[in-house]
Structure 1
Amino acid sequence: MPCFLWLPYLLFSDAFDNEKLLATVEMLRHGKTVDIPKYDFRSYKNSISRRVNPSDVIILEGILIFHDPRIREIMNMKIFVDTDADVRLARRIRRDTGEKGRDIGMVLDQYSKFVKPAFDDFILPTKKYADIIIPRGGDNHVAIDLIVQHIRTKLGQHDLCKIYPNLYVIHSTFQIRGMHTLIRDAQTTKHDFVFYADRLIRLVVEHGSVYTGVDFCKRLCGVSVIRSGESMENALRACCKGIKIGKILIHREGDNGQQLIYEKLPQDISDRHVLLLDPILGTGNSAVQAISLLLKKGVPEANIIFLNLISAPQGVHVVCKRFPRIKIVTSEIETGLNQEFRVLPGMGEFGDRYFGTDDE
């Protein structure tokens, strides 16, 4: 069940304790229980606090909720409920006469002197910040259904996608799951392994390239992490004709000892968007080494897209926490790593199987 935070009606945005609101939301986002005071419309004071438990969905509700840019920044979806002015006035008369014991004259006087001017000055201008504007409020069932479907889609994503918005896992289909099964099978022949691996790589490259936008099409380049990353070059060339491709060689020894051995990058790489190619993201140490090199060469962090076939959760955490502005595109999030720091269930030594240099 979602948890709700209700904000009382006040005429000016400065009347809100936004610092307290931000702290409360952050606690909920980190899975902590909070106590929220309940506002009493009769006494105009906070009454007994209500305990709210953390949830997958946090709903912030309030007429001035979009006023503070810090609060807008932490929202995943901003909805403005647009209702006819006559309907708003009728609801206010019904509430104030029923709940507050006022007469209609007092309600209309307050509405014309304070409520309507405050709405025009403080509430209506925040409409421009909304992602979705719903006319007719709760009577608009089509809009509500669309919002519910969007939330269900987000909740159905892998947990890591909820934590890191810069992580993209391509949509899983029967075809993709079938290809994963084949390349994971140790008995799959080299010919079949290369065929299905190439197909998966092409899907990842196609998915990753769309985030660069048409304006950057002529300023793209690829960088493959030797040697497994070289298996992704053909798919990149097929999608982006004439693209420049650089290379990085990193010596790997288990989970430690990453050392840059060789690099050959385009001279103008700092002016380009970079597609970093490495089919497997394991511990993330090699990826960190490669990304750090690109940053030293002047490539903006936001211009790097890391493409791989499979990713271990540990590697995703390492890369996304260290470089929160890069994008990762993968076809599958794995279970984890074993004691030898190999991806589980994984697909064996990808480079050996792809280039036919395995022992068997």
Structure 2
Amino acid sequence: MPYAKFVKPAFDDFILPTKKYADIIIPRGGDNHVAIDLIVQHIRTKLGQHSLCKIYPNLNVIQSTFQTRGMHTLIRDKEISKHDFVFYSDRLIRLVVEHGLGYLPFTEKQVTTPTGSIYIGVDFCKKLCGVSVIRSGESMENALRACCKGIKIGKILIHRDRDETQLIYEKLPKDISERHVLLMDPVLGTGNTASQAIELLIKKGVPESRIIFLNLVSAPEGIHYVCKLFPQLKVVTSEIEAGLNDQFHVVPGLGEFGDRYFGTDDS
């Protein structure tokens, strides 16, 4: 048969060896609709992120891999257990925090290695602090503490009612104007809460260019609002969402992140 004589030997000689170089292999090919839909969504997400990043140089999206996509798939599943939601959220948060720290200034530093050689590296920025937007922002504090030993963390509480916000409480380091600030809130929706928190930091004397806003997911509406209003601010996120629904909820979204993370949701 032609298949056994030509097609199969050609596959074994030329196609099969290339599997080891593939990023992903789809079993059953065109019949695997779930895998194909996942790849299509991944490509669309990357195209959308690329477009917004070209518009706003101060927007930074961490590298999307099938590992990060897998974690996003897990935390978006409404059936996931609280333990797993926290575990995979913490993993993604750590990636965002590590990426955000890479935008801090540094100074050159020279050290002697155990072999007696000289290594020329960099020294971390010493004057920094974290600020979490209560309550969901507090979920990001452990990751920041794990990366920055002894870091000071301030708090901001803002009441949100649809598109209106009101500052309720703030407790910030007295010397915050001298520090670089990592502002933490897992979800950037309309941008109203974030903008009020950023405006408060600026009023406290923090230069806009010294603020890095860390979040897990960002709606395009919030990105447009915040990045236009604060062009010197840096925004670091792990994924850009489709948008906001009629209730101003981020979709596909994570739900009420604080309730899911701290176990205070109705379920």
Which TM-score bucket, shorter chain as reference? Answer: 0.7 to 0.9
1:230 is aligned to 138
For the pair 1:193 / 2:101, whether they are aligned, the reply is: no
SS in 1 for 2:200: helix
CA deviation vs aligned residue, 1:238-295 (integer Å, no higher than 9, x gap):
0111110000000011122x00000000000000000000000000000010000000
Deviations 1:75-96 (A, max 9, x none): xxxxxxxxxxxxxxxxxxxxxx
Which residue does the alignment assign to 1:244? 152
Aligned to 1:286: 193
Q: CA deviation at 1:157?
A: 5.2
Q: 1:221 aligns with which of 118, 129, 141?
A: 129
Matched, 1:296 2:196: no
Give the aligned residue type for 2:260.
R
SS in 1 for 2:160: strand
Tell me the distance in 2 between the aligned counterparts of 1:156 and 1:262. 36
Amino acid at match of 1:177: R
Is 1:261 aligned with 2:168?
A: yes
- One-letter amino acid matched to 2:170: E
Matches within 5 A, 1:145-156: none
Match of 1:276 in 2: 183
Considering Cα pairs closer than 8 Å and 6+ residues apart, tell me whether 1 or 2 has the greater RCO. 2
CA distance in 2 between counterparts of 1:171 and 1:245 reads 27
Give distance in 2, aligned partners of 1:344 and 1:317.
16
The residue number in structure 1 matching 2:250 is 343
Q: Partner residue of 1:333?
A: 240
Alignment of 1:323 with 2:215, yes or no, is no
Q: Point out where structure 1 has 5 or more consecutive residues left out of the alignment.
A: 1-153
Amino acid paired to 2:243:
G
CA distance in 1, matches of 2:72, 2:202: 33
Kept in 1: contact 2:49–2:240 (CA 8 A) = no
CA shift digits 1:305-343 (9 cap, x unpaired): 000000000000000110000000000000000000000
Distance 1:340 1:202 in 2: 30
Report the count of equivalent residues: 206
Which one has the largest radius of gyration?
A: 1
Distance 1:339-1:292 versus aligned 2 partners, 3 A rule = same
Q: Deviations over 1:170-205 (max 9, x none)?
A: 000010000000000000000000000000000000
For residues 347 and 155 of structure 1, the distance between their equivalents in structure 2, rounded to whole angstroms, comes to 21
Distance in 1 between residues matched to 2:234 and 2:95, nearest whole Å: 16
Specify the code of the residue in structure 2 equivalent to 1:213: P
Distance 1:155 1:342 in 2: 22
Which secondary structure state, in structure 2, belongs to the residue aligned with residue 191 of structure 1?
Answer: helix
Measure how far apart 1:214 and its partner are.
2.7
- SS of corresponding position for 1:291: helix
Q: In the alignment, which of 199, 221, 229 is matched to residue 314 of structure 1? A: 221
1:359 corresponds in structure 2 to 266
Q: What amino acid maps onto 1:308 in structure 2? A: N
Shift of 1:218: 1.0
Gaps of 5+ in 2: 1-45, 108-123
Deviation of 1:155 (Å): 7.9
The 3 A distance-change label for structure 1 pair 294 and 183 is same
The alignment-based identity, stated in percent, is 78
Per-residue CA shift, 1:109-167, capped at 9, x if unaligned? xxxxxxxxxxxxxxxxxxxxxxxxxxxxxxxxxxxxxxxxxxxxx98952100000000
Change (3 A) 1:349 1:156: closer
Structure 2 match to 1:56: none
Alignment-derived partner of residue 165 in structure 1 = 57
- The amino acid that maps onto 1:255 is D
Letter in 2 for 1:279: P
| TM value normalised by structure 1 | 0.56
